[in-house]
């Protein structure tokens, strides 16, 4: 990604210098050699050419940065179109005004006589500059749009090409074999104490296994269905942890039908239990919070304990989550892991589709 951005930046600057350099050469050539009445010293045309190319490259680079800041390519809304039109006219007027003012003063200084720049010259210059800036915007947006479409196609191809490998990795990350082994041993011990509860736990374990296998075929699942698996996981974990594990959830009911990547919540809960609650003598509390804002679904799992990311198993679990989010959402999703007041917070922000 970093290499691609560097290449794109280099290409942008090459095109900037080539494009504005050509226009500068054409402008200077037409005035110095083609139009005979343009009587002036050669040094003036050099100065005017330098001013023209500096303003052209400088102002359009600022315009490009502004288009990137408002994310015009990604979000071509009415609001962004209006902002772009305003920026277009401001850039064109500023370009023309600075060019006329600087060139006029340079002409007077170099030729030692007053310039004859009139309102007609200003208007014609403004019209020409406006046309140049317009075509610059059209070409820039077209190139960026094509590049973005190509990038999206490549990302989709990468996602499809890595599907089989991703399915295997997802299986490993979704339902930990050690968890299954421990659960079966715990259920076997539970049979001696409570047969009905042991039967219920076996049902929960089989539902988790079936869910894990089926979810390899889809990229998204409703939050309501995901919460059922989380409940199963919590109940199975309580067989071993008993009163050491306290679980709460705070879920906005209006979000239950929203779709998220399968097993992501379960993986967050598993990480909180494995590296948080189970390592503490007195156990602790896990709280699942699901909310939203105008643009994102926020999945948050808090657990009492301290942040420890130096173990291989922790990194594997976190890398699994990050990789899946990147494949599905690119740079639009965020995964944050932090420690706040002796509590570890794992937060995933997913864009609303």
Q: How far apart are CA 160 and CA 248, in angstroms?
A: 37
Reported as a single tens digit per residue, the pLDDT across 216-257 is 667 788 999 989 989 988 888 888 888 888 999 999 899 999
Name the residue among 241, 171, 239 with its Cα closest to residue 210: 171
For the chain, the straight-line distance linking the first and the last C-alpha, in angstroms and rounded, comes to 24
Name the residue among 139, 69, 58, 120 with its Cα closest to residue 95: 58
Q: How far apart are CA 285 and CA 305, in angstroms?
A: 9
- Does one domain contain both 22 and 156? yes
Range with lowest mean pLDDT among 50-54, 230-234, 303-307: 303-307
Name the β-bridge partners of 346: 301, 337
- Does one domain contain both 134 and 167? no
Q: How far apart are CA 270 and CA 268, in angstroms?
A: 5
Q: Give the chain's domain count.
A: 2
330: left (phi over 0), alpha (psi -120 to 50) or beta: left
Q: How far apart are CA 239 and CA 233, in angstroms?
A: 10
| Both structure tokens of 36 | 């005979």
Q: How far apart are CA 183 and CA 122, in angstroms?
A: 82
Range with lowest mean pLDDT among 16-20, 134-138, 140-144, 190-194: 190-194
Q: Is 290 helix (H, G, I), strand (E, B) or coil?
A: strand
Section 261-289 average pLDDT: 85
Q: How far is CA 122 from CA 12, 59, 95, 101, 240, in A?
A: 30, 18, 11, 10, 83
- Does one domain contain both 175 and 70? no
Give the residue numbers spanning the domain of 181.
163-351
The pTM for the full model equals 0.51
Reported as a single tens digit per residue, the pLDDT across 71-117 is 888 888 889 899 999 999 999 999 989 988 888 888 787 877 776 66
Boundary residue ending a domain (136, 161, 186): 161
- Does one domain contain both 8 and 123? yes
Name the residue among 209, 204, 206 with its Cα closest to residue 175: 209
Q: Is 303 helix (H, G, I), strand (E, B) or coil?
A: strand
| Both structure tokens of 185 | 């041993």
Residue 287 has pLDDT above 90, yes or no: yes
- Does one domain contain both 84 and 200? no
Name the residue among 229, 261, 234, 262 with its Cα closest to residue 247: 234
Boundary residue ending a domain (129, 161, 193): 161
Q: Is 348 helix (H, G, I), strand (E, B) or coil?
A: strand
Boundary residue ending a domain (141, 161, 181): 161
Looking at the chain, list the stretches that DSSP marks H as alpha helix, in order from N- to C-terminal side. Answer: 2-29, 42-69, 78-111, 119-161, 163-174, 177-191, 195-214, 223-241, 264-272, 312-329
Section 272-298 average pLDDT: 86
- Does one domain contain both 300 and 280? yes
Please name the residues in contact with 259: beta carbons below 8 A apart, sequence gap of 6 or more. 220, 221, 222, 223, 353
- Does one domain contain both 134 and 9? yes
Name the β-bridge partners of 85: none
CA angle in degrees (0–180, nearest 5) for 305-306-309: 130
Residue 314 has pLDDT above 90, yes or no: no
- Does one domain contain both 230 and 141? no
Q: Using an 8 Å Cβ cutoff, are 96 and 90 in contact?
A: no
Residue length of the chain: 353
pLDDT > 90 in the chain, percent = 19
pLDDT score of 37: 46
- Does one domain contain both 186 and 274? yes
């Amino acid at each position: 990604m970093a290499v691609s951005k560097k290449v794109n930046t280099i290409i942008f600057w090459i095109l900037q210098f080539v494009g504005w350099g050509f226009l500068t050469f054409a402008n200077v050539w037409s005035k110095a050699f083609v139009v005979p009445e343009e009587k002036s010293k050669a040094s003036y045309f050099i100065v005017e050419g330098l001013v023209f190319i500096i303003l052209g490259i400088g102002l359009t680079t600022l315009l490009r940065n502004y288009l990137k800041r408002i994310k015009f390519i990604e979000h071509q809304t009415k609001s962004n179109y209006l902002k772009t039109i305003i920026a277009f006219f401001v850039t064109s007027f500023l370009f023309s005004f600075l060019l006329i003012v600087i060139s006029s003063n340079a002409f007077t200084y170099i030729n030692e006589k007053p310039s004859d720049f009139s309102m007609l010259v200003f208007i014609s210059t403004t019209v020409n500059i406006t046309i140049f800036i317009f075509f610059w915007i059209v070409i820039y947006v077209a190139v960026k749009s094509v590049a973005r479409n190509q990038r999206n196609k490549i990302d989709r191809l990468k996602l499809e090409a890595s599907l089989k490998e991703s399915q295997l990795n997802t299986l490993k990350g979704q339902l930990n074999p050690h968890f299954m082994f421990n659960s079966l041993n715990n259920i076997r011990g539970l049979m001696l104490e409570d047969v009905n509860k042991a039967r219920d736990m076996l049902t929960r374990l089989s539902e988790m296994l079936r869910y894990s296998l089926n979810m390899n075929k889809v990229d998204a699942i409703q939050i309501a269905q995901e919460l059922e698996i989380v409940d199963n996981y919590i109940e199975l974990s309580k067989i071993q942890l008993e009163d050491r594990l306290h679980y709460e959830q705070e879920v906005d009911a209006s979000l239950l039908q929203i779709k998220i990547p399968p097993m992501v919540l379960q993986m967050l809960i598993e990480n909180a239990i494995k590296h948080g609650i189970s390592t503490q003598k007195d156990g602790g509390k896990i709280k699942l919070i699901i909310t939203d804002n105008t643009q994102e679904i926020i999945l948050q799992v808090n657990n009492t304990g301290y942040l420890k990311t130096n173990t291989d198993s922790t990194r594997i679990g976190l890398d699994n989550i990050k990789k899946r989010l990147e494949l599905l959402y690119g740079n639009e999703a965020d995964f944050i892991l932090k420690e706040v007041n002796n509590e570890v917070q794992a937060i995933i922000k997913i864009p609303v589709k």
